[in-house]
Amino acid sequence: MSWLKEIVRPKIVTKEKKDIPSSLWIKCDSCKDMLYYQDVQSNLNVCPSCGYHLKASFDFRKEYLFDKDSIDYLPEPQVKKDPLGFKDTKKYTVRLQEHKSATKSSDAIRTFTASIDGQDVVVCNMDFSFMGGSMGAYVGQAIVEACDVAVQKGLPMLAITASGGARMQEGILSLMQMARTTAAIEKIKEHKLPFLVMLTNPTTGGVTASFAMIGDITMAEPGAMVGFAGKRVIEQTIGEKLPDGFQSAEYLEEKGMIDVIVPRQEQKKTIASLITMLMNK
């Protein structure tokens, strides 16, 4: 008999590994510090180390920006869901349903009336988590109808933007929304009603090239990327190196394209003050 068969195997007691939920810690996109999630949340999703403004969902933003129980959602726009019958690796209708399930939203925008420190306002709040905040017929129609409500009720309008641009699955119909939303905003201005914009990270493409940059007052969150084409695309097109910080909110404020940068902790007070001033001019 082989002596190997007489070896008694040691009993090794293994304990079940206790995983630390990943939601307890997040990494800052700017300084790369590992941050305790609760600390970041209590600081309005702003990095306590460097002040970088992390993305904020609609549900998170509404808690600190709008007065409690003041939100009244506008009816959803009725548009054709898949006007081109588009399909890439998946049908467009399938992609829409996936994002609806994941975000609990009908599309990349929420429109509603609300109050900010007692000041009534019509709000268009874009949601980057829904297909990159891309603007298709639904988003365009929602903004047009929100403008109509602002005019009917004599209220100012606030657009909170977060978008990758036009929605490619809707082709030219998506690009048409640039003109439609811009014309709708002009109707607000004809009625001497203020149109305020809060640019958040990122705001790019067709949204930047239309209603996002025609506010009476254009605000931005610190560090927000705002532009049309991406930095790499521009550099390859013009064959030159772009300046550091190009397309950042701070760079655009320096060049006069943004009026003011407003940290989240100051947004409610600032927006309410602007509405009070502009509505009583």
Residue 213 DSSP label: G
Question: How many whole angstroms separate alpha carbon 43 and alpha carbon 26?
Answer: 14
- Residue ranges per domain, the chain? 18-54, 56-279
Tell me the CATH number of domain 56-279, given options 3.30.70.260, 3.90.226.10, 3.50.50.60, 2.40.37.10. Answer: 3.90.226.10
> Which residue is it, tokens 């997040």?
26
- Give all strands of the β-sheet with 195-203 in edge-to-edge order: 72-73, 109-116, 119-126, 157-163, 195-203, 217-220, 260-261
Is pLDDT of 19 > 50? no
What is the dihedral angle through the alpha carbons of 47, 52, 56, 62, rounded to the nearest 10 degrees? 80
Express as a percent the part of the chain with pLDDT over 70. 91
Give mean pLDDT, residues 127-140.
97
- pLDDT tens, 46-102? 999 899 899 898 999 999 999 999 999 999 999 999 999 999 999 999 999 999 999
Q: pLDDT confidence of 174, banded at 50, 70, 90?
A: very high
| Nearest alpha carbon to residue 281 among 151, 218, 193, 149 | 193
Q: What's the mean pLDDT when you consider all of the chain?
A: 91
Q: What is the pLDDT of residues 214-261, one digit of tens each?
A: 999 999 999 999 999 988 999 999 999 999 889 999 999 999 999 999
Q: State pTM to two decimals.
A: 0.89
Q: Is residue 257 classed as helix, strand or coil in its secondary structure?
A: coil
Whole-number pLDDT of residue 30: 87
Query: Percentage of the chain with pLDDT > 90?
Result: 79
- Specify the amino acid at residue 100: K
